[in-house]
Amino acid sequence: MKLKVTYDKEHVNRPVLSSVVLRTGALINILDAKVSPGGGEVLVDVLAPPEKVREVVECFISEGVGVREVMKAVEVDASRCIACGACISPCPVGAIRLGEGVVEVDEGRCVRCHACVNACPMRAIRAL
């Protein structure tokens, strides 16, 4: 399950992620991070069953940081998509394929790099 963890300036210098990994024993993969001295956001993928993910979420909350589940990374506007395929090859994980007249994103494979957003000449793909 993908989670967005939000840090404020009081927590950005603490080893929150390391603490959560050590306390829960969960495998957590960092997909994206934007952190500065004033705070930041880290997108993680928790590689665990639902009950362990709940434990991870509770642990993040106990550490004093914000956490929410991320369902979708991008949205495709079917009215703008011309199914040209320009977004397919830039995707580093092969999460995009041509569907019926529109591209489709496999959210399970998507790593939220937004390469597809930048590649789309019609601006039909929007980052969420």
The dihedrals phi and psi of 102, each to the nearest 5 degrees, come to -155, 155
- The CATH superfamily assigned to 2-69 is ACT domain (3.30.70.260)
Token code pair at residue 52: 């362990």
Q: What are phi and psi of 97, to 5 degrees?
A: -140, 160
Taking only the tens place, the pLDDT of each residue in 97-125 is 998 889 999 988 898 899 999 999 999 99
Domain ranges of the chain: 2-69, 73-128
**What tens digit of pLDDT does each residue of 45-81 get?**
999 999 999 999 999 999 999 999 988 889 999 999 9
Same fold flag, 2-69 and 73-128: yes
* pTM for the model: 0.71
* 73-128: in CATH 3.30.70.20: yes
